[in-house]
Amino acid sequence: MASAPSSASRSSESASASARGSGSAQPTADVTAVTTRDDFLLEIGQTLDGQAAVRPVETVDAALELVSSGKRAQVLVIDSRGLADVRAAVDAAAMRAPRAVIVVFAEDAAEKQLAATLKDSKVFAVLATPIDLRKTQAVLEGAIAESAAHKAATPRAAAPAPAELSIGSFRGNAAPARPDSAGAGTPRGANKTLLVAAAIAALAVLAGGTWYFMHGGASRPAAAAANVAAPAHATTAQPVEEAAPEQAVADTSIVQGRIDDLLEKARLAMHERRYTEPNGDNALLYYRSAAAADANNGEAKDGLLRVASVLAGRFEDALNAGRYEEAGQTLANFKSAAPGDSRVASFEQRLFAAEISKSLADGNLDRAAAYVRQAQQSGSAPPEQLAKWRAEIAHRTDDTKVTRLAGLVSDRIRDGRLLDGEDSAKAYLQQLQATAPANATTQRAAHDLGVAFLHKARDAGLARNNAEQERWIGEARAVGLKPAEIAAFQRDLSNTRQKAAQAETDRLLQLARDRMHDGRLSDPAQDSAVFYLAQVESSDPTNAALMDASHELAQKFEERARSSATAGKSADADLAQAKRWGADPKELAAIQQLQSAPKSSAIDTAALAASLRRTRSPAPDYPESALAQHIAGSVLVQYTVDVNGETRDIKVLESSPPGVFDRAATNAIRRWRYAPMLVNGTAVQVPTKTLLRFELPK
């Protein structure tokens, strides 16, 4: 890519043209970039994305010449990588261009050091390179707003008068009247209100940019966060029509003095190609001033025609390149130079046509309508063209309304606000159907809302709330959902219910098995095998897996009852549960007989427990979390060794620290095995206790 042109090659006239940019976004500020790097200019241009024109220069002095002569708000971007003394450059810029907002870029590694160096200077922000797009966009938005606030708050100074000349006022017969500071056609009070609002907004953005400078740009500034989405209810308002676009006006002031002096200055300005800029020192000003002093002066008339010829060419170039703001300003100056020229009406009509087409392409219908009104007022467009423009705007307005309402329906569906109030999906769909009932977008929105209603019906159906389910299905029918879709939904809901019921039964059965394995047969009441099997028995009594689980539970109660009877304890509760879950009556009778045996024959369980012999006892796993935190402890566990030498009814009695090693201890004991304990040649169950210690490895 070619390198950026040197500022030395540009006159003030060409610099001003560049500042207006090649885009058509009508920027409100000029951004002058001091750099020698093409990649930096590209990144800045991409970041601005049409908000402002970029003027590249290679020195701070060249930049200040452009900034001090610019009409619009000014932002000065300095690439510090090419400067020896950045602080001196910043101070010089602040002195010579006090209204310009300065943003400095530095290498990432040098950003903080440079920020410290520039502390208490007039710098708006210090940013790092390579450029962070989002952060830089936020800061440059703040800088542009700040520069606009400076421009709005500072009265426009009159150009310095040349020696022996004084500023006067001139109103040519055919020249447009120069608006006062309140703006053409705008009441002073209204303009003052707008200026105050703009200043407040600019100060908010300035706060965000300053935050970047003070904190090194760590995150998006607070000012950028001010552009958050409006509250949901705000989207119900109709779009506010924006103010009419401001029409460009020429500088109609004159300078008073001797005609020969005025003509001499006009000749010099023509030679230096200062046709209309800078303000207060250009050929158009001097020729008009000479013509005002002597209406018959031939050189003044001829000079105005030559200036008009240059401006006509510039108008064509700007219009063809899509630089409509520049074209508008050039046309205003052209009319000032040659108010009676026959090309004025044609130029105006072409410019209005281009502005309206651009506004329509951008979707800015209010702005397009404002241009149509201006074209009508100026009389530059024929009635048939005005009618064509208005019809296109009306058509696009209807499309915009449909799109907006469909978007609101979609948003409210996403937020779950389907029915209630005027700010609901149903309310917006009704507006949409009243506006464009046959539109494909309307039909799509109705279908989406009907599907959302069916989702609600599904939730109600799974919750067994039949009344609520029917209510939502009725709403789906009301918005036009097809009967076939509703029937398919009802079939799907029935299948889903069956699957959900089966899944719940499987879950309860698994919980019951887990509790049987842990020895929690009937206690605690709300988390035991009995509790979960009773729920399955109530909801799905014919389930095949329920019978197997009930048989297993009955056996567990039999074993526990036998152990209690052997130890001389009451087994009545366990016998009752065993019977309730289908135990063999013969087994129950045998346990009852064992329980009724004389007490003298009761077995000494303590002695039996002391005689137990472990045949397998894997060590417990040390919990990783406890090991990582260097925690040691112990767990006292009570359990029963059954007639097969397996452990069951495992229960933690004490643990230190509580809960840390409980699971590891019970899991280990569950894997232990013992030699069956025999009493009088018969294997018996033996209750026992064990203390497991968890000590950190050395």
Say yes or no to pLDDT of 17 above 70. no
**Contact by Cβ (8 Å): 29, 74:** yes
- Confidence label for 657 from pLDDT (cuts 50, 70 and 90): very high
The most confident of 121-135, 165-179, 376-390, 645-659, by mean pLDDT: 645-659
Is residue 62 scored above 60 in pLDDT?
A: yes
Pick the closest to residue 153 from 220, 203, 116 (CA basis). Answer: 203
Q: Identify the top-confidence range among 119-123, 217-221, 321-325.
A: 321-325
Q: Kindly report, residue by residue over 529-587, the tens digit of the pLDDT.
A: 999 999 999 988 988 899 999 999 998 998 888 878 777 788 889 889 989 899 888 88
pLDDT of residue 26: 57
Q: Tell me which amino acid residue 491 is.
A: R
The predicted structure's pLDDT at residue 426: 93
**Higher-scoring residue by pLDDT: 308, 246:** 308
pLDDT at 155: 54
pLDDT at residue 198 greater than cutoff 80? no
Q: Does pLDDT of 309 surpass 50?
A: yes
CA dihedral 546, 548, 551, 556 (to 10 degrees): -100
**Would you state the structure tokens that stand for residue 237, as one six-digit string?**
């308002």
pLDDT at res. 244:
61
| Residue 359 clears pLDDT 50, i.e. is over it | yes
Is the pLDDT confidence value at 242 over 90?
A: no
Write out the two tokens for 246.
Answer: 């401001």
Looking at the predicted structure, is the pLDDT value of residue 631 above 90?
Answer: yes
Task: Give the CB-side neighbour count of residue 150, counting CA atoms within 13 A.
Answer: 21
Please state the rounded mean pLDDT for residues 619-648.
94
Q: Which secondary structure element, helix H or strand E, spans residue 146, and what is its range?
A: helix 133-153
Report yes or no: 308 and 338 within 8 Å, Cβ to Cβ.
yes
Of the chain, the percentage scoring pLDDT greater than 70 comes to 82
Tokens of 466: 């039949």
**Distance between CA 588 and CA 591 in Å, rounded?**
5
SS3 14: helix
Going from N- to C-terminal start, the domains of the chain cover 7-158, 502-601, 605-694
Q: How many helices (H) and strands (E) does the chain have?
A: 26, 14
pLDDT given for residue 94 in this prediction: 86
Q: Average pLDDT of 322-326?
A: 93
CA distance 215 to 106: 15
| Residue 96 pLDDT exceeds 90 | no
Residue 395: predicted pLDDT:
87
The CATH H-level superfamily of 7-158 is Response regulator (3.40.50.2300)
Mean pLDDT of the chain: 81
Which fold does the domain 605-694 belong to in CATH? TolA/TonB C-terminal domain (3.30.2420)
Q: Can you tell me the distance from the alpha carbon of 432 to that of 75, in angstroms, rounded to the nearest whole number?
A: 45
3-state helix, strand, coil in the chain (%, to 5): 60, 10, 30
Query: Which amino acid is present at 252?
Result: T
pLDDT confidence of residue 462: 87
Question: Average pLDDT for residues 330-343, to the nearest whole number?
Answer: 92
Q: What is the rounded average pLDDT of the residues 227-254? A: 58
Q: Which of 47-56, 146-155, 357-366 has the least mean pLDDT? A: 146-155
Whole-number Cα distances in Å, 194 to 74, 190, 368, 468, 540: 20, 6, 22, 52, 73
Phi, psi of 440 (to 5 degrees): -60, -35
The string of pLDDT tens digits covering residues 425-468 is 999 999 998 988 888 999 999 999 999 999 999 999 888 898 99
**Distance between CA atoms of 650 and 576, rounded to whole angstroms?**
22
Residue 185 has pLDDT above 80, yes or no: no
- Residue 163 pLDDT exceeds 80: no
Task: For the full predicted model, state whether its pTM sits above 0.75.
Answer: no
Q: SS3 of 690, please?
A: strand
Angstrom distance (rounded) from CA 32 to CA 15: 10
